[in-house]
Every structure is written in C-alpha cells, then in structure tokens.
Structure 1
Amino acid sequence: MALKNKSLYAILGILNVSPGTGYDIKKYCDTVLSGFWNENFGHIYPTLKKMLSDELVEIISNEKNEKKILYRITPKGQVELESWLMEETELQPMRSEFMLKLLFSSSQPKEHIIKMLEDYKQIHVKKQEKYLAMQHDLDQGIEEISEERSRFLRAMLRRGILSCEATICWCDETMESGL
C-alpha cells in the first residue's frame, strides 16, 4: 500500500474547522496540534498547491502574497477527509532523539546524563503548563467554539497533560534510580 501524505489530511482537517491562510495553518499546528503533529511552511505551501490542483481546497481571496491567500476545503476535500477518517489508523513508530541519546549514553559522565534528564523534564513541565493554559482558556470561553469541538479539544489536552505528567514522573524516577 502506498504511503499517504498525512500532512494533506492535517491541512484538510484544519481547513474543515475554518478557512485559513498558510500562516493560519502553521499557527494552528503550533498551538492546537503541537503535542502530536507539526508542519513547517516548506511543507504547507507545496501541499496546498497540490491540494489546489487536486480540487481538495479552493482559494477564496486573491492576494498576490502567497502568505495571505485564504483557502477553504471543497466538497471533494471533505469527502477525502471523511474517507481518511474512516480508515483504520496504523501504529506509527515513535522517534525520539532524546531517547536515542539516552540509550547510547552509558559512557557519558553521570552529571551529563542527569542534566539531560533535567532538561528533558523541564521541556515537559513547560509543555504541560502550555496545555493547562490552553485548558484554562477553553474553560473561560476565550475562543468561541462549539460544545462538540470543545469536547474533542478537551480530550486532546487531557491526553497531552497526562503524557507530560508521565514523562515528568519517569524523569524523576530515572534520576532517583542513580542511572
């Protein structure tokens, strides 16, 4: 089976929520999707161009500046997104540079390993704070969104918060074990 461009589906999903520019798509990825998905401009714009030629999205504003072009999902794009949503999800292998480095760090001084773990823990403390702030904003109704969409956002935030808690706990246990 040929590999599917999952970025295409991320962009379709974002545009299904609301029309947006390439910049809006990147911002959505950097905030809402940041715990499990990332995109860069170098990938967003070529994907949008292909989606445009495949009639999955359309332009609803004609700006000369590529960064200000407003896109929206087409009915064909909605069918493609719905079809993908119904497919079985394959387990993706986890790739973590930190875990790779830690695995091969047995020859490193203990202080270096502890610092690696402390830094990794702090990354997740900050990430958890970000999720908690997003949850607070959601609770306060800062953004006007539907109750249904709110439930899904809360579920995603909860997963992110729990994942950070587990990583923070694991870092503490690993440092305490005298690794």
Structure 2
Amino acid sequence: MPKENHTKYAILGLLTTSCRSGYSIKKMIDTSLNHFWKISYGQVYPTLKTLVQEGLAEVDNTNDLDKKEYSITEKGKQELTNWLQLPVEKLSVEKNELLLKLFFSSQLESQSSTFLQLETYEKKLHERLEVYRNIQSSIETYSAHEQDAMYWLITLDYGIKTTLAQIEWCSCTQEKIKKGVKTNE
C-alpha cells in the first residue's frame, strides 16, 4: 500500500487561511508549519498543480500573469474535513542525531564529547523555546481574532511543552552520565 502523502492536506489547510499564492503558502510553512511538518519549496507548486487536477483547488483569475492565486473548492473542503476526522494511524518516528550519537557513545574514550553534545543540544532547545514564545506573543497580539488562532496556539503549546521536556531530559541525562547510572530512575 503506498504511503499517504499528508502534504496535500497541509496545502489544502493553508488554502483555508489567507494564503493564496505558492509564495504565501511557502512563507506560512516556513514561519509556522515547519516547526512540526516539513514541506520543501519544491513540493508546493507540484502539490498545488495536483490539487487543481483533482478538483480540490482552483486557480483564481488575477491580473498578474506571473502570479497564480489558488482557492480551495467545496470538494477540497470536504476532502480536508474527511481527513481531519480520521484518527491518526501511527506515531511518527523522529530522526534525532543526538539520540543516535548517544546510543553509540560508549565507543568514546571520554564522556567530555557526550557532555558537549548535550550542552549544545540544550542550548539549541533554549533558542527554539525563545522562537516559540515569540510566535506565541505574535499570535496573541496580532492574530487573536483569527478563527484558527486557538488551534495555532494549541499546536504551539505542544512545541513549547515538548521542548521544555527535552530541556529537562538533557539536564537529567547529564546527571545520569556523571553518576554512571545505567538504568532509568
């Protein structure tokens, strides 16, 4: 069975917002979805083309010949609604380079490199947390009136809480390594 391409649903969902052009869709992906759903710029226009071919989106008439604007069709709204109502089939597996390195860290003569990896990772998590807090502030300040704002904040809350959990995990992991703990406490 072929793997379901959820990118089409991400693009359909973005067409329900103020995003109408490939450029505005990619900009929204880069500033929001990209924190939890990766879509390359090279996927946007082919996906839009497919959505139009399937009757899920349509190209709107614009005066600018170089700029196509899109909108979701009723069929597209129904397709999106149907997908939104389906349960999540499986948990996604995160690719995490730090965890891969930690898994094999017993091969190191000294744990100093492992501590450096954890400290660097934790620093990046703090930077991510700051980005999330800035996005949260922006939504609460400028987009609170948007119909989608509550759901944007819910997904953002997931990112904030998982980032805080990862920061705590980094600290605990460093302590475990210092103590030589080999099992979970």
The alignment's TM-score, normalised by the length of structure 1, stands at: 0.87
Matching residue of 2:52: 52
2:143/2:149 contact within 8 Å kept: no
Q: Which residue of 1 aligns with 2:123?
A: 122
Q: Is contact 1:62-1:69 (8 Å) kept?
A: no
State the Cα distance separating 1:77 from its structure 2 match: 0.8
Structure 1: gaps spanning 5 or more residues:
none
In structure 2, the residue matched to 1:113 is 114
Deviation of the 1:150 alpha carbon: 2.0
Match of 1:40 in 2: 40
Q: What are the ranges of 5 or more consecutive residues in structure 2 without an aligned counterpart? A: 179-185
Identity %: 35
Letter of the aligned partner of 2:139 in structure 1?
L
What is the CA distance between 1:97 and its match in structure 2? 2.6
Q: Which has the higher contact order (CA 8 A, sep 6+)?
A: 1
Task: Return the letter of the residue paired with 2:33.
Answer: L
Aligned twin of 2:140:
139
Out of 56-65 and 154-163, give the one that drifted further: 56-65
Which deviates more from structure 2 when the two are superposed, residues 160-169 or residues 115-124?
A: 115-124
Paired residue type of 1:52:
V
The amino acid across from 1:133 in the alignment is: N
1:94 and 2:94 correspond = yes
Q: CA deviation at 1:36?
A: 1.2
The offset of 1:102, in angstroms, is: 2.0
User: What is the CA distance between 1:138 and its match in structure 2?
Assistant: 2.3
Q: TM-score, normalised by structure 2?
A: 0.85
Q: Which amino acid is the alignment partner of residue 76 of structure 1?
A: K
Deviations 1:135-168 (A, max 9, x none): 112222x23643x422212211211111110011
Mean Cα displacement is larger for which, 122-131 or 100-109? 100-109
CA distance, structure 2, for counterparts of residue 35 and residue 93 of structure 1: 15
Tell me how many residue pairs correspond in the alignment: 175
- What is the CA RMSD across the aligned residues, in angstroms? 1.9
